[in-house]
Amino acid sequence: MAGPDRKVIEKNSHGEYVLTAYGEFLSYFHTHIQLFGTLISAKKIPAKEQEALKAKIRSYISSNVQKTDHFFDQLPQFAQFLGMGSQELSSYMNRNFLGALNKVKTKLIEQESVAEQTPRKKKYSKISDEILEGLGFTFPAGHRFESEEGMIYLVEISTGKKREAAALGEVARETAAAGAAARPIPVPVRKGPETPILEEILKKYGELFSGKPLIMKVEELEEDDSPMQVGEDILADVEDLHFDGDFGGDSPSFSEPPVSIPFSKYMDQVGKVRVFQKAGQLEEYKRWVASLPVEENALVQLQTSLLKESRGEVVEWDGTLGQLGSRTGLSESRLRKVLELGRDFFRIRNQLEASWNKARTASPAVAELVKKAWPHILRVMDEYPDFSQIKGKMDQLLSRIPDASQRKILTDLFLNPVLSIRRN
């Protein structure tokens, strides 16, 4: 399973098999492959696409992960491959990782211990080496093959003596024996007792040694934490572990991932739309919308209908989404997720803009403070829909205001109203 220079298991002081550092890395590798495989298998896509996605993730790990910690660092990229949110994937891994890891370690040790006790087949650099070792002899020197009346003979060139080719092995062994007999037999040389190498060095060069005794510090003895270089050339040869029956862990009913557009980007796009409208630049607006990523494109185009809905006007959403789908290529289910996010963003935006207008009339000091804090407030809203993160980051932002009365005004204006959206 592992290359010749990569031991997966070793015996501890009790004689039990345990994983090496490389074995620990492999256990993480297999655990992620198994869990990601469960998620991919739950996706409603053809089997061929599932296998291609599994191969893509495996190749990415081989090229980008060198330590066990790196698996966690790469979680956002894995989530993107799997078509799900990072938080959703993180929750899934938290629920299932340890149980799966223990199963993988048990299987890995079991598999490698069997391999340790099984004689490994000798590898040959050339096929000719394997043939020669299998035969046990080489073609004898000074001989050649000759054909006579349909028979193949082995002919000794110097004497012309012929033997049937079937006797090739016999002739080779006789030739080797004759060569060995002709070589002089070495006479063993008696040696006196062997002097230990350190004693010999001291005796010969003792006067050259000087200095203080070498004492290693604790930090010099600590284990090296440099990355283990595990590239595609190594992991490409690592076979998957095969488990009997169900691997375990929850098997989610794979749902379409949420639309991921930061609120601050949405607000920036709303501002650009207003600029185009004010300047009457319809063609420039169309070119700009066409340049956006497809889901952001759809979100921008939905704003007019959302504005109508907020005024109490009737919007025929089925027809609107059908037309938008034909323009963008997005499915109806995906467009409804964009619409759901657009409604939430529309409510938050209205609340923040109303608070902005109130702040401008509160006092010049508060108005100036809000103007400086505005970009930071929008970035805090990027945490939507995680309201606990929104509250934590907003509290952290407002705590930087030294004046308690001003801090309370901004809390009442921007934090409490946004948190109330969650309860509505």
Per-residue pLDDT at 225: 41
Please answer whether residues 315 and 309 qualify as being in contact, where contact means their C-beta atoms are separated by less than 8 angstroms: yes
pTM: 0.42
Per-residue pLDDT at 21: 86
Measure the CA–CA gap between 274 and 268, rounded to whole angstroms.
10
Determine the straight-line distance between the first and last CA of the chain, rounded to whole angstroms.
57
- In this predicted model, what pLDDT tens digit does every residue of 7-24 receive, in sequence order? 888 888 788 888 888 888
Per-residue pLDDT at 250: 53
- Cis before 213 (ω within 30): no
Of the candidates 219, 272, 260, the one whose C-alpha atom is nearest the C-alpha of residue 383 is 260
* Token pair 């093959």: residue: 145
Per-residue pLDDT at 217: 46
Angle at 184 between CA 181 and CA 185, to 5 degrees: 90
The pair of structure tokens assigned to 302 is 């939905």
- In this predicted model, what pLDDT tens digit does every residue of 188-235 receive, in sequence order? 555 556 666 666 666 666 655 555 554 544 443 344 444 444 444 445
Phi, psi of 364 (to 5 degrees): -60, -35
Per-residue pLDDT at 208: 57
Please answer whether residues 110 and 128 qualify as being in contact, where contact means their C-beta atoms are separated by less than 8 angstroms: no
Per-residue pLDDT at 3: 44
- In this predicted model, what pLDDT tens digit does every residue of 62-119 receive, in sequence order? 888 888 878 888 888 888 888 888 778 888 888 888 888 888 888 888 888 877 776 5
Mean pLDDT of each 10-residue bin along the chain, 424 residues long: 63 82 87 88 83 87 82 85 82 83 85 72 60 61 69 74 63 61 58 63 61 47 42 51 52 62 92 91 90 91 91 88 87 88 90 87 85 89 85 89 88 81 52
List, in order, residues 6 or more apart from 325 with CB less than 8 Å away.
331, 332, 335
Angle at 117 between CA 113 and CA 121, to 5 degrees: 115
List, in order, residues 6 or more apart from 183 with CB less than 8 Å away.
none
List, in order, residues 6 or more apart from 173 with CB less than 8 Å away.
137
In 3-state terms, what secondary structure has residue 261?
coil
Measure the CA–CA gap between 347 and 345, rounded to whole angstroms.
5
List, in order, residues 6 or more apart from 61 with CB less than 8 Å away.
29, 32, 33, 71, 74, 235
Phi, psi of 238 (to 5 degrees): -85, 120
- Return the number of other C-beta atoms located less than 10 Å from residue 287's C-beta: 10
Burial of 384 (C-beta count, 10 Å sphere; 0-12/13-18/19+): buried
